[in-house]
Structure 1
Amino acid sequence: MPYARYLLTLLLSLVLVPLLAQEPSQPVRLELPFDPIETEAEVIALPDSSLLVYQKTSNAWGTRATFRFTKYNSQLEEVWSDTASLAPDSNFLRYYSEQPYTYLVFDANDLQDYTFVRLHDKNGSIWHKKFEIDPIEGVYEYQVLQGNYFIIGQNRKTQKPLLLHLNPATGNIQLLPSVYGDESTFSDLLADPAQNRVDAVITESNGRVSRLQVKSFAPDGKLLKNYFILQKEDKSLLNAEITPGDSTRKMLIGTYGTRDLRYNQGFFTAPLAANIVANAEFYNMLQLKNFLKYMKPRREERTRRREASRLKTGRSPSYHYRLLLHDLIVTPTGYVLAAEAYYPQYSSNSRNIGAGRTITIGRQEEGYKRTHAVVLGFDRNGVLLWDNTFPLVGVTSYELTHTVEVQYLPDGRVVMAYPEDDKIIFHLMDEDRYNDQETELTLLTYTEDDKIQDTDQPGIIRWYGNNMAAFGFQRIKSKSGNSREVFYVNKISF
């Protein structure tokens, strides 16, 4: 009997390994005849497994523009399409979905003017209105609760972040109590329809220590509750994402630092109701099984040995990581948090002063280079279950924005992916089982005879189930020799 059980296990493993190693499929592709010179386009995943494609087509002078919104079902078949009469200088910024609506915000050349669009996901009916929001320039975050807009923007005068409430029915705009100090900023903004509240997570700092504060607001902007999350003496709470749920179950999951508040020393989880971190869990980088796997094995070994020695003697870690957090993903059993490790790239400004000599005037940031992305899985109580790492080779962004997409699959695995020309570079993670094999997927065209000559503005978003959507502009050459410019959407199934 034991032999039979062993044989059955062996046979199952031989069947499952090839299945797990299978390349993702691309069951359907959509091509739209968009001219990349005249057209701006965005793809948005809707909660009902459909896609919304936004298209702005302008003339060469920017004096006329058409704004079209088209919904496609899960098979990329058109469901409805309609246009909105927006000002030609309107530019898409952000969106938020709260069934049955999708809300979009646009700015304009006049930085005080913002246009809000509301689309009915099922029938495509469109409402839009322009508001003059004098206090801010730029919208960084945007959430909607019961038709009320919560907006994080930058103060026009002080350049500090601020939180606004806008009632689109009355046009009333109110400034909500939020950040105070020069070093304070927003860490997260979450609309929680089930609890009928919006939670704003604020990082407060005086340059030496940092703590977190959570403010909860009603749909009308009324302050419901204020939580001060006090840190331990030797740990400063830097940034955090907040979970949905009632006050007794809400948690903060984020990063902490020690002496230098620019760098992260590890991750923490803390129940919101406690107001202090006495009940928090802290995980330094050395406690994570795979965080350092982006290094060569010998370098990882040396790093772990050196840092363990420093901790034993009471010294602070010498590793320095800047982490850009992703939105928290809620799973059937807990939470998944992803983060990208990055560092600024600088260029020196030099001046020739003659005699073959130059002087360096200063350094200027040129972008942000990634080293790796990390994913951590937690249970409902904030206990770390596993971690995994995705090395990012040659991935750079000029602005500090997310460069990888993260999706939790129905079978419990996590996929991280980013576009690179006509390929998708991805990593499938099965909890803490690390795999250093780099995997890539070449985007398929309509026929094998089609050749991709150029890909521009590629992107990828999580969609539904085990599907993602890759999109961008391509120039395709057919077998007959004719070329066509298209905006493509490829469904990718893992």
Structure 2
Amino acid sequence: MRYGWLLLILLWINSFAVHAQSNSGPVRVELEARAQVFNLVPCNDKGIMVFYETINQPDQQNKTWFFILHNTALETIWTREISINVDFVFQSSFIDNENLFLVFQKSTKAKTDSHFFQLLNLNLQNGESVTYSIPMPANSDIVTFEIFSNHLILGLNHGKEQATLLIKDLSTGDESTVKFNDQSTFIKDLKIDAATSTIYTALNIFQSKRESSFYVNAYNMSGQLLQSIALTPPQTTERIMNGQLHIDNEKNIYVIGTYNNTNGKAIKEDRTKSGDPSEGFYMAGIVGDSQKFLHTYSLLNFSNIRRILNNKQLAAAESLLKKQNRQNKEQGLTYDFLVHNLQVNDDELIIAADAFYPEYRQVSTMSYDFYGRPMPYYYTIFEGYQYFNAFVAGFNKQGELGWSNGIKIWEMKSFQINQKTEVFIDDDEMFIFYNHDGKIVSKAFHKFNDIGTIENTQIATNFPGDRLIENSQGNIKHWYGNNFVAYGYQTLQNNTQGSSERRKVFYMNKIALDYQY
């Protein structure tokens, strides 16, 4: 498969097409980056929305945010200035036909008893906007939300280890809430079955620090409980960490996610601020009102685990495999996972996850007491989350693991936990890739089998002679069809343009993935 070569050439083919229309370079936009924090949301074939907070403040309660909608050629369609509350930051998005919904939440703890978030509805055709201020419990985190039939359905996890399902009619303002007050409950996923107007939630419920259980609950649009089904793993020691929901046309419910073997063991107090420590993947099927199956698959037992892991992690895996064979007792690799959104390819359900770990550095300093005696002090500094691998696996509708694969991630560190890799599957064509150090690192595969080698494709800049000085927060997202957007921050220098000054930019590159055998 020559996808890597075509990926590089297509970048320049696209640039020639744009050059013919607008006398520019590659399909790329550069925005001057000063102190702004840019946010980007792909809007399918409607374009890409980029927005950021400005320094302008029309009144004491609001800041001006600037919104830019680009078309599929990354040309500006319209711009808008919209007021958002001071100290609010962007949280998440949802696209409903011609409307883009954006949720903003306060970045710091509120000093008053008034707690709310803002929901911004932007019409992608004309740029008209409506803003809703919606009350919420104090110290809440927005997990996920959807818009259905002009209703907001939103999942909230609270600081006091409770959860709330909010159902709000955006036309009338009427709302229903489902509060989980009895036990420590965390919402993990939320899906709407449009045909029956049923809300499905995946819930992680902690009976204690040692015991937890996982439920799939169904509600009507009034918040009335219709169904509650507990998932039961094969082993009592297995703990389900998260779950993504899929409802097929026959109303069968499938849950896919990660698990570990810590049930019955004490877990850390903060269960919401980091990844899910996981030993492998599971898939469950629900038919009617009962669980039909639940199968777990340990990463260590993946037939191609040695080929997936990078060298540092492989050494630990080899040691565990030897111990497992020597003692004839199951061992497990445990990684912090950030799980991607579930993908469906024909009758196959596909899960992917980025693996990372927090990295710390120990620092020592010396001080002296009143008598001049040395007193050493030691403390640790958090240096970010180190990403090292991504895993992907496909399951049939009987919950059987059909294949597994992955990609090594080299020297990627971030202070935020967010998705770093992208998986694209189109029938039998399968790709996994990420944006790092000004390049798209990509791999083609077919189920268990790798195709070719890892490709490193340079992200094109606007001018010949551009020299990359610094690259940060690089990422890539699926846009529409086989098109993706690579974006991030770059510092560039170009001595051939009549100036040696450096320019710092937020960039967006449109990249079309093509492949042939």
- Separation (CA, whole Å) in 1 of partners of 2:81 and 2:58: 21
- Structure 1 segment 92-491 matched on structure 2, within 5 A: 92-108=90-106, 111=110, 112-155=115-158, 158=160, 160-178=162-180, 180-182=182-184, 184-205=185-206, 206-232=208-234, 233-245=236-248, 248-259=251-262, 263-273=277-287, 279-293=293-307, 294-296=309-311, 303-310=320-327, 312=328, 315-348=329-362, 352=366, 355-356=373-374, 358=376, 366-402=383-419, 404-434=420-450, 437-478=453-494, 479-482=496-499, 483=501, 484-491=503-510
State the AA in 2 paired with 1:52: M
CA deviations on 1:94-121 (whole Å, 9 max, x unpaired) are 1111213211011246742322111223
SS of the counterpart of 2:324? helix
Equivalence for 1:492? 511
Note the C-alpha offset of 1:465.
1.9
Counterpart in 1 of 2:72?
Answer: 74
Q: Secondary structure at the match of 2:243?
A: strand
Question: What per-residue deviation string (whole Å, max 9, x for no partner) do you get for residues 267-291 of structure 1?
Answer: 2211123766662222222432233
Name the structure 1 match of 2:22: none
Shift of 1:341: 2.3
1:338 and 1:221 map into 2 onto residues whose CA distance is 31
Instruction: Check if 1:42 corresponds to 2:43.
Output: no
Cα distance change on mapping 1:381 and 1:97 into 2, 3 Å: farther
Between stretches 386-395 and 481-490, larger displacement belongs to 481-490
Measure the CA separation in 1 of the matches of 2:320 and 2:59. 54
- Asked if the contact 1:229–1:275 (Cα under 8 Å) also holds between the matched residues in 2, the reply is no
Q: Tell me the C-alpha RMSD between the 2 structures.
A: 3.4
Distance 2:153 2:416 in 1: 24
- Aligned CA distance change for structure 1 residues 100 and 370 (closer, same or farther; 3 Å): same
More displaced 10-residue stretch of structure 1: 210-219 or 363-372: 363-372
Q: How far did 1:376 drift? A: 0.4
State which of 70, 82, 89 in structure 2 corresponds to 1:84: 82
CA distance in structure 1 between the aligned counterparts of 2:365 and 2:462, rounded to whole angstroms: 53
Q: How do 1:7-18 and structure 2 match up within 5 A?
A: 17-18=1-2
Structure 1: distance between partners of 2:481 and 2:31: 28
Q: Check the 8 A contact 1:148/1:168 in 2, yes or no.
A: yes
Q: Percent identity?
A: 20
Counterpart AA for 1:327: N
* Deviation larger for 375-384 or 84-93: 84-93
- Residue 6 of structure 1 is matched in structure 2 by none
Q: Which moved more, 1:40-49 or 1:458-467?
A: 40-49
| Residue of structure 2 equivalent to 1:3 | none
TM-score by length of 1: 0.83
SS in 2 for 1:208: coil
Report Cα offsets for 1:140-168 as digits up to 9, x if no partner. 32222222223333436x26444333333
**Equivalent residue number for residue 12 of structure 1:** none
Which deviates more from structure 2 when the two are superposed, residues 406-415 or residues 206-215? 406-415
Residue 380 of structure 1 aligns to a residue whose secondary structure is: coil
Q: 2:55 aligns with which of 50, 53, 58?
A: 58
Q: 1: distance between equivalents of 2:253 and 2:30?
A: 46
User: What's the CA shift string for 1:249-299, capped at 9, x where partnerless?
Assistant: 221112222246664333221112376666222222243223343144787
- 8 Å Cα contact 1:413/1:431 also seen in 2: no
Deviation digits for residues 279-332 of structure 1, max 9, x if unmatched? 22222224322334314478755543432344x3xx341533332221111223
- Contact 2:161 / 2:186 at 8 angstroms: preserved in 1? no
Question: Helix, strand or coil: the match of 1:34?
Answer: strand
* Shift in alpha-carbon separation, 1:79–1:407, aligned structure 2, 3 A: farther
Deviates more, 1:376-385 or 1:162-171: 162-171
Contact 2:27 2:73 (C-alpha < 8 Å) held by counterparts: no
8 Å contact 1:56–1:66 — kept in the other structure?
yes
Contact in 2 for aligned 1:143/1:149 (Cα 8 Å): yes
1:10 is aligned to none
User: Counterparts of 1:401 and 1:19 in 2: how far apart (Å)?
Assistant: 27
Q: CA deviation at 1:473?
A: 3.5
Q: Distance in 2 between matches of 1:321 and 1:219?
A: 37
- Does the 8 A contact of 1:210 with 1:238 survive in 2? no
In 2, the alpha carbon distance for the partners of 1:84 and 1:159 equals: 34
Moved more, 363-372 or 322-331: 363-372
442 and 418 in structure 1: CA distance in 2 versus 1, 3 angstrom threshold: same
Change (3 A) 1:161 1:426: farther
Aligned residues: 471
SS at match of 1:382: coil
Amino acid across the alignment from 2:228 = N
Structure 2 counterpart of 1:396, which letter?
Answer: K
What TM-score do the two structures reach when normalised by structure 2? 0.79
Structure with greater contact order relative to length (CA < 8 Å, sep ≥ 6): 2
The residue type paired with residue 188 of structure 1 is D
Shift of 1:437: 4.3
Quick one: which amino acid aligns to residue 210 of structure 1?
S
| Amino acid in structure 2 at the alignment position of 1:380 | K
